[in-house]
Structure 1
């Protein structure tokens, strides 16, 4: 997990986490912070083990840690945060010794992580892990959350 720790110590990564925190200071819904990123990473890893997908753990953690780092840009300019995150993640991945092939796989997953029908195994894993990562059971904002607009009942799977 050497490269994952490099991501976590990367100056740009830390700056983007801070920008997300600032942009979501008054947000009553789920935040896009390190806790969410780690939850997504760990759930993606669990699913990959359960389904015997044989995906490298560092790849899963990298996509989980980076998939929402551009959320602040969506608040500021309206750009889709998946695209913003993809663009911001590329430099970090280069700085942290990921290969060109790994970078392209991770960036493709990040860019498509909001689409239920992904064109890649990683994109599908990221989509599912992202949705499953939220602890909605005792959320005080569940009554107005778009995830539960049809009175769905939250459950925990991971």
Structure 2
């Protein structure tokens, strides 16, 4: 996981993480922080193992830890954070020796991670892991959360 550890210490990555934190300081709903990024990565990896997909762990963690790095931009100007995160992630991935094919696959997944029934296997795994990662059971903001507007009940999957 040498490349992933590089990303976790990358100045741009840390700056984007800090910007997310600043933008969400008063947010009562789920945050887009390192804990979320790692939860998504770990769940995506579990899904890939369970489904026998044989996807490299660093590809999964690369998309997981970078999928929401641009969330702060959406708060600032409304630009879809999936598109922003895809753009911000590219330079970071290049610095840590991901191949052109790996970069293409990771960026495609990040760009589609908000779409149910996404076109690629990686995007589908990322979409599901992102949803499964939320710990809604004891959340104090659940009554006003968009995910529970119709009386849904939290259901732990991973």
Q: TM-score range by the shorter chain?
A: over 0.9
- Computed over aligned residues only, the root mean square deviation of the Cα atoms, in angstroms, reads 0.4
- After superposition, the C-alpha distances for 1:24-63 in whole angstroms (9 at most, x for unaligned) are 0000000000000000000000000000000000000000
Q: Which residue of 2 aligns with 1:155?
A: 155
Q: TM-score, normalised by structure 1?
A: 0.99
Give runs of ≥4 in structure 1 deviating > 4 Å. Answer: none
**Unmatched 5+ residue regions in structure 1?**
none
In structure 2, how many angstroms separate the alpha carbons of the residues matched to 1:98 and 1:156?
33
When normalised by structure 2's length, the TM-score is 0.99
Aligned match of 1:11: 11
Is 1:69 equivalent to 2:69 in the alignment?
A: yes
Q: Note the C-alpha offset of 1:117.
A: 1.8
Match of 2:37 in 1: 37
Q: CA separation in 1, counterparts of 2:148 and 2:56?
A: 34
Q: Name the SS of the counterpart of 2:18 in structure 1.
A: helix
Unaligned runs of 5+ residues in structure 2 are none
> In structure 2, how many angstroms separate the alpha carbons of the residues matched to 1:149 and 1:84?
28
- Give matches, 1:8-157, under 5 Å: 8-157=8-157
